Each structure stands twice: as structure tokens, then as C-alpha cells.
Structure 1
């Protein structure tokens, strides 16, 4: 069956960019796009204009929030968010984003972190291939790509300046979207309220081993050199500071990739890297318990309990455990490692 598709066009009237919808050719009426799926994704895209923020989507169900990235032999790509109930093991799918033709989902910040999706869960970072160029933007719940590059370049859809290399990066908690201009490695920022105006953040990313020069803060905002003085204790030269689970403004939980969870304080250890020369303030798991821990650690909303994926026994159990921030013996949940195949932990609601 051929699905009716809603086409979004950019029209300029007296210098103002307006988005209009063209309807089904059979009826002449505007037709909302069917819910996309991996077999039928729309290649529709739109140039961003000055808009009001989208209405907030429903929040995820209670439980540990997970992410999965999927594709199929036909090169269809989609991202799914859901939650696992720790008491029952029940999985609830919360949100699915499907990539239009030519788009890749997920930001450079990390394909699996919370910043790939907007705070209201209505958008996911995306990069669109347009001829030999790449354009940064986002894909919404209808599978429509919003082209921030085209808006910033003041060009209508289909009329692009050659040699553009923009890549989606992430969303912060203050209504901003970030993308990377690969010509010089500049990280750029736009407001979701006025995405046609981009500003430099002062962060340079060359794709190599140079320091990141940005910090994802505990409040999910992004510190960059142009956003103000660097908070006390933060080290933007340290890559691992962007992968920890924050307890508060200064303390964090991190796994060592092997057998232990630890609490650190960036005022004493600005670069939270585990090692003999930089030990944790305290370790959470009892010595000699033999836990094998995967690099997935999240905190509950109260910030007093950690969830992590590990293995221990006898009897052997592999799956999701919880342990209080004060430390102690972990508690098994109903979520097994088999249930978690293909998922990454990114939060806890």
C-alpha cells in the first residue's frame, strides 16, 4: 500500500520563512503522515524557522531508561527508548524515531547518551546526506528531518552551498541544539526558538586525541568556553568527565570497567580516571565479591541509589543490580542480562 505523505515546503514571503504542508494529491487536503516504520520511512525534510517550542511529550514510564539503535538489511535505521521495571522485569517501549532516507540518527556527543534526544522527547539528533554535503538537524516523531544547516545558511530546500560538512551533536536542557562544523571543527549552538541564527561555542573538536573542551553538567546543560567561567573543579581537558553519573554538582559515580563502583569528587580529582594514583573517595561494593561490571551506571531520581549491569554468584546471576550510594551488598533486580541484550542504560525515572 502506498502511504500518503505530508510534504513540508519552505516558502519565503517578504523575507520570512514559512513552512506549509501539501496534502494528498488524491484529495487535495493536508494529510498527516502515517506513523513511520522500518519498511516505510519518509525522506521529507524541512528548513527550520523561528518557532515556539514543541509541546512537551509524555514522560517515560517509571523504571530504568534504556536506548537501542537498530537497522536492517535494507539500510532502514531507527532508535528506540524504553524502560525496564526493576521489580517485574517488564519492558515498556516509550519512544521510537525512524530515520528518513539519507539520515543518520544520534549525535557526536554519544549515540547512546541522553543528549541525543531533546528534553521533551520530541526530537532526536540527526545528520542528513545531501549530495556530497552533510546537514545537521533533528528528526521528529513523524520521521521528518528539520534541516538546521539550511536555516543557518539562509538557503531554501534544494539550494545548498557546496562543501558543507555539518554533523548533529546534541541537545541541552536550556532549549539549545548543537552541531559540529567540520570545517575547522567548530561546535556551534542554535536556540530552538530561533534556529536560523548560529553562534560559536568556543569549543574546537578535531576528531583526534585533543581534549574535548566542553563539559556536560549535572543539570544536563553544556559548558563551553563561550558560555562563561568554568565551574570550580571542572576539567574540560578530561574526556571521562563526560561519561560519569552525577550525584550532585561535584560528586559522581563511575565504574572501573572491571569489578568496582566508586564515588569521586571533582574538587579533589578533576579528571575522574580510575587508577592507583587517583583512587575514589570511597568504593561502593564490598571487597572480594567478584562482581563483573559492564560500563553502564545510572542513578535514581533521588540520587541515592545506583543501578548497574553486572554478574555475580553463586548462584550466578547476570543482569541489573542496585546498590545505595552509601555502599553495601548489591540487590538483584528482575531484569536479566538476556533481557538487556541490545540495550544501553541512559537514565532512571
Structure 2
């Protein structure tokens, strides 16, 4: 949730001020009868840190490998910096790829690992070592130049792999689950280092990840994938606050989902009959729908307010029973049971160290939310 909010002028996907740097047009990859990637079209712009996000087997790594040249599209076209990549081998492309395993040479020092690609390309030693020193300084590994990979921590090995990928200054860096091998705290710290390095160099990054929080933190934009297809592309706040399908709403973060039918359809509001809530939900804006149409209503746990008395002037308020409370330090998660038997979750930020009269286990309370707090989904 920490992605910077950029002005529209810095968002070429909105302003149209420049052509896409990477253009994927109707790309399909089949393995026999299996569609790993299915008719994907996607534009990525120069200087972006773009994340492909999805679960295992959704096609994100296959799409990355086609960009790198390790797989050939069955159908479709890939362009990088205005050039068609058809028939170009990986070493002929303006790309480099950083693998999840890091693939460091265990018998080489950090310095030699980073320099390896430059020497393979015939760069003179003095020039190569100057570039290596510059890159090690950028990733804060200068004191470790003489060490070997087994003498480094996981985070340090990750930065060596990143330096090796960037030292040749590719136009496009492809990263396949780059932080997957790190523990949670180190992964969070490294995310911000990755953003800083990308902004410093201005290289376009495409990152594959299954971690929603990682994508939300890193990305200028996210492409959510499912079953070989891109199901939604948007900036992190758009993906989180305005998912356009039940899959995206459920995949990104935590959500409470209800099925309902339209009972009132007006220009400035919609009312849904929701059996699991045993009452109507008031939506404070118009929705493209018809009377009696089946829809789904999604509400995030942090949007739900818990009170012992029914709040005045709030249309969406429902009695619940507090069955469980999980204390997570920065927040508490409430597992609530509706009269219908359905369970929902609410979260509350723990803003002070000692709170008296806090709602706790085995209480009958009210769960409420604002008219515009939820999202209506048609698919």
C-alpha cells in the first residue's frame, strides 16, 4: 500500500504522452492442449516498475520467459522499444533476467559474479571493474566484494544477483519472484531498496510475484493474471479499491463478499437485497444494472466499524456476534457471526497501547459501514 501517487503527467498510461516501451499483442502460449498464456495484450511504459501478479500456474512466469526469449509465443507479437522480438535469441534482446534462485557462481567472489557478464561480452578489465564498483556501491555491497556467496546473507545474495543483472544496463529487467527466498522482515526492507535502485537507474522493471503486498508496495501498475489471462490492469489503489471482478476483489487483500439482488435502481443510489445480511445494503451511487439483477457486494474488513449501539444515520448497519479476536499488534482482526450464520471479518487499528472498554470476545455488537465503502461487482 506504499506505492507513490504520481501526477497524471508522470503516468503515460493515462496521458498518452509517449508510446509503450513493451507492447504485448494477442500473445498465446500453448503446451499441447494447455493454454499457459491465452490471448494476452498489455502495454508497459518506459521507467515503470510493473508487477505481474497471480497464483501458481496462472501464466505469469511463462509470459516473463517469452519476454526474455526463453519461450517462443505460439501466437502473437512482442515488441520492446519499438522492435519486434520474433526470432531474437535472449542474448540479442535489450533485456536481462533475474531468477528466483539468484543462480550465483559459488566459486566466484561477489565482484567476479557481478563482472561475469561484462567479461563474456569482451569488455576491457579496467572498464568492467569500474562498472562493477559503481554497481556494488549502488546496492551497498562494496565491503563484501571479496566474499563468496556462502559467506553472505539471503538479502545480500539477492543484491548480488540484482547488481549482476543491472551492470550491463539492460533497457528492461525481468525479475521472477525476486524476493521469494527472503524472510518477511527482510523482504519488506528489500522492497524499498529495489524501488530506490529502480528509480536511480531509470531501468524498466517487470516483476513476477504471487505476493499481493509485495506487488502493492513495488508497482507503478499491477497486471492481475488468472488462468493465462490478464483480468485487470491498474495502479495499486485502483486494483484494491475498485476491483472489477469477484476474482480480483478476493485475490487482492481480504474481503467480505455477499450475493444480492437489485431492489431499487436510481440514478444516485442502488439498494440490494442481501439474504445473508437479512436486510438491504444501500449503495450511495448509481450502478449499471436492472431491477432483480444478481450482483455481488464486496466490503473490505477495515471499512467496517464496530459499535455496541446501533449508529445513528447509518443505513448499512447489521447485528453481529464477536466470535474471535486476533491481536496482530498494529491491528486486531474480528471474526463476526451474522444472524444468518455467515462469518465476516472486520479490522481495527490499535492506535494506543492501553485501550479500555474495547469490544472483545462474545459480545453482541453492530457492524456498520458508509454507503460508498463497498464495491458492487457484476461478474
Select the structure that is richer in helix: 2
The structure having more radius of gyration, on CA atoms, is 2
TM-score past 0.5 threshold: no
TM-score normalised by structure 1 residue count: 0.25
Q: Which has the higher strand share?
A: 1
| TM-score, length-scaled by structure 2 | 0.24
